[in-house]
């Protein structure tokens, strides 16, 4: 086996992280860079796909330099990505036909309402495990065909490629030779049958998506192709691992057995529970999704609760309200007061995800008095992450019949000790933070390493997981329930806000 290292590209919503790992899973090089967010209209979120590629390659170069290795020293490259974000590009030129439409984007909310009014919710759920919501890729693709002139005809002629960000990255890594995705990303498109493991003809017809644009779907741990030396630092390296970021984090957290669960605290937060080779339908507003596929093994499924805004709420305090200069300030501010004093922040800045699923909810801050300060807003923002996580975990337990006994946490926000302790308190369950908290990159690296023989088995990888810190609950049950009931009351205030405004305007 050539190469002594695996390189993981973690292409996220606000930036790209690249890590270089050795055989002992030690990170010897890690770099990060943000890229621009575009908000052309309220509720719309876009990225420049070319900028994503350029920034990612710069970060790859920087990470290799920090590690002191060259691309030729790599055994494999993996990609993990922000899910549901879509790109359509010209197969000939490789140029995107429009900005990427980001998973947070809500422009297709009215079309989703139409699909539900047509009674199609069960049709989609029974095939994809998903709910009808603008979050997922399918309605975004349809919007693109409806709004980019001549695009549908070009697509039907085989001139256009569609993909989530993993497809876009691999296309560029391989010099335009490979148009592919993996099970985990395909399962988030609203057009992939997670039981039959194929693009679904009926759903494609409903959403009017030409099948000519679709990528091939393969297991998450699989050799997809090689990097093109002209595109990737003069080296041909196997591209051998692809997974959506949350599934990759579940894998990186070594949640290989049914019932193990984790939450990744990022721009949004995503709670996933491994349910094994059985797909568990949800009656609680959760998603049934594919966790991963490893080579020829049966696919593994998961239950997921997608929370749209968690870390992004803190970013809003920093960039929108400008009441903090750095996200790290929130920890000290939250600890500077004894309680939230009844202040609750429901960060429905792009609607509410699981388990509420309300595209028309909007951000709401309640309980404010003259005695409140920015410390209360900072604390409320952090507490909102924990409350939303509890809502999802309880729904997950009801769906699966499995009680969560321990809870693994990762992502940037785990450095906030106030948040982690409050999460344990409001859940009533111990929260475990691993030594390596950037588990999305690690998980995809593990997948690439398994595909190329760099690592031998999941058992070997599970032994590499190590605990950094454990937070045990300290709050009494009565107080836990009192705080949570007030949170649910605040959530009700946030629901349906934009719809009510629209109805009022129409009546006027």
Cα–Cα distance for residue pair 213/475, rounded to 1 Å: 53
DSSP conformation class of 373: -
Cα–Cα distance for residue pair 319/172, rounded to 1 Å: 32
Residue 41: count of CB within 10 angstroms of its CB: 10
Strands (E), 310-398: 344-346, 364-366
Residue 305 bridge partners (DSSP): 271
Q: Buried b / exposed e across 132-171, counting CB within 10 Å, b at 16+?
A: bbbbbbbbbbbbbbeeeeebbebbeeebbbbbbbbbbbbb
Query: What are the structure tokens assigned to 71, written together?
Result: 């691309």
24 and 449 in contact (C-beta within 8 Å)?
Answer: no
- Structure confidence at residue 28 (pLDDT): 94
Q: What is the largest CA-CA distance in the chain?
A: 71
- Structure confidence at residue 259 (pLDDT): 85
Cα–Cα distance for residue pair 204/198, rounded to 1 Å: 11
Q: Look up the pTM and report it.
A: 0.85
Task: Calculate the alpha carbon distances from 47 to 36, 153, 272, 309 in Å.
Answer: 7, 24, 26, 18
Residue listed under structure tokens 């997922």: 136
The three-point CA angle 383-384-386 to 5° equals 65
DSSP conformation class of 358: B
Q: What is the tally of helices (H) and strands (E) in the chain?
A: 17, 23
Distance of CA 198 to the CA centre of its chain: 22
DSSP conformation class of 38: B
DSSP β-ladder status, 300-307 and 160-164: unpaired
How would you write the pLDDT of the chain (508 residues) with one tens digit per residue? 468 999 999 999 889 999 999 999 899 999 999 999 999 998 899 999 999 999 999 999 999 999 999 999 999 999 999 999 999 999 999 999 999 999 989 999 999 999 999 999 999 999 999 989 898 999 999 999 999 999 999 999 999 999 999 999 999 999 999 999 999 999 999 999 999 999 999 999 999 999 999 999 999 999 999 999 998 999 999 999 999 999 999 999 999 988 889 998 988 898 999 999 989 999 888 999 999 999 999 999 999 998 989 999 999 999 999 999 999 999 999 999 999 999 999 999 988 988 988 988 999 999 999 999 999 999 999 999 999 999 999 999 999 898 888 899 988 899 999 999 999 999 999 999 998 888 899 999 999 999 999 999 999 999 888 899 999 999 999 999 999 999 999 999 999 988 766 655 555 5
Q: Is 119 left (phi over 0), alpha (psi -120 to 50) or beta?
A: left
Handedness of CA 163, 166, 169, 170 (dihedral sign): negative
- Structure confidence at residue 354 (pLDDT): 85
DSSP β-ladder status, 287-292 and 269-276: unpaired
């Amino acid at each position: 086996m050539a190469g002594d290292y695996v390189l993981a590209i973690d292409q996220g919503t606000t930036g790209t992280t690249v890590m270089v790992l050795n055989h002992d899973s030690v990170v010897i090089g890690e770099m990060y860079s943000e890229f621009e967010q575009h908000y052309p209209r309220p509720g719309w979120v876009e990225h420049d796909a070319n900028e994503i590629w350029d920034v990612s390659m710069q970060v790859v170069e920087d990470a290799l330099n920090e590690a002191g290795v060259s691309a030729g020293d790599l055994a494999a490259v993996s990609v993990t990505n922000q899910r549901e974000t879509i790109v359509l590009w010209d197969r000939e030129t490789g140029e995107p036909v429009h900005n990427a439409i980001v998973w947070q984007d809500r422009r297709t909310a009215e079309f989703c309402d139409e699909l539900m009014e047509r009674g199609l919710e069960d049709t989609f759920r029974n095939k994809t495990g998903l709910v009808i919501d603008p979050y997922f890729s399918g309605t975004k693709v349809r919007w693109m065909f409806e709004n980019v002139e001549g695009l549908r005809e070009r697509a039907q002629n085989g001139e256009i490629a569609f993909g989530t960000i993993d497809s876009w990255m691999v296309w560029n890594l391989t010099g335009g030779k490979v148009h592919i995705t993996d099970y985990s990303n395909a399962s988030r498109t609203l057009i992939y049958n997670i039981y039959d493991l194929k693009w679904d003809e009926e759903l494609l017809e409903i959403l009017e998506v030409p099948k000519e644009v679709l990528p091939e779907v393969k297991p998450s741990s699989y050799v997809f192709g090689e990097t093109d030396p002209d595109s990737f630092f003069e080296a041909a390296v196997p591209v051998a691992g692809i997974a959506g970021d949350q599934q990759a984090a579940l894998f990186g957290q070594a949640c290989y057995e049914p019932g193990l669960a984790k939450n990744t605290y990022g721009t949004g937060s995503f709670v996933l529970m491994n349910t094994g080779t059985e797909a568990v339908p949800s009656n609680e507003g959760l998603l049934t999704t594919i966790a991963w596929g490893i080579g020829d093994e049966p696919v593994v499924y998961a239950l997921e609760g997608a929370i749209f805004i968690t870390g992004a709420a803190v970013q809003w305090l920093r960039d929108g309200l400008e009441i903090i200069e750095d996200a790290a300030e929130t920890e000290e501010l939250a600890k500077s007061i004894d309680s939230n004093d009844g202040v609750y922040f429901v960060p429905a800045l792009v609607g509410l995800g699981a388990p509420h699923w309300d595209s028309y909810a909007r951000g709401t801050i309640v309980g404010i008095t003259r005695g409140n300060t920015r410390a209360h807003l900072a604390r409320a923002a952090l507490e909102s992450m924990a409350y939303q996580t509890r809502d999802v975990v309880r729904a997950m337990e009801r769906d699966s019949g499995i009680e969560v006994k321990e809870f693994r946490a990762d992502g940037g926000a785990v450095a906030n000790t106030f948040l982690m302790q409050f999460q344990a308190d409001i859940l009533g369950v111990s929260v475990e933070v691993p030594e390596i908290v950037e588990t999305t990159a690690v998980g995809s690296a593990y997948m690439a390493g398994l595909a190329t023989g760099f690592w031998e088995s999941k058992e070997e990888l599970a032994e590499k997981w190590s605990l950094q810190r454990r937070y045990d609950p300290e709050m009494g049950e009565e107080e836990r329930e009192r705080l949570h009931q007030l949170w649910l009351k605040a959530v009700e205030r946030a629901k349906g806000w934009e719809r009510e405004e629209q109805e009022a305007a129409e009546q006027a």
